[in-house]
Amino acid sequence: MTLERKIARAFNLTHKNWMKHSNPWSVWTRYSVLPIIIFAFWSRIWIGSWCLIPGGISLLWMFFNPVFFKAPKSTRNWASRSVMGERVFLNRDKIDIPAIHKGPIHNILNGVSSIGMVIAIWATVVYSVWGAILGIVLAYLGKSWFLDRMVWLYEDMKDNNEEYKSWDY
- Domain coordinates of the chain in residue numbers? 3-166
- Is 99:153 a contact under the CB 8 Å cutoff? no
Mean pLDDT of the chain: 93
Question: Is residue 42 over pLDDT 90?
Answer: no
Mean pLDDT of 104-132: 95
Percent of the chain with pLDDT over 70: 99
Question: Is residue 12 over pLDDT 90?
Answer: no
CA 49 vs CA 12, 39, 122, 141, 159: distances in Å: 31, 13, 18, 31, 52
In the chain the first and final C-alpha atoms are separated, in Å, by 28
pLDDT band, residue 1 (cuts 50/70/90): low
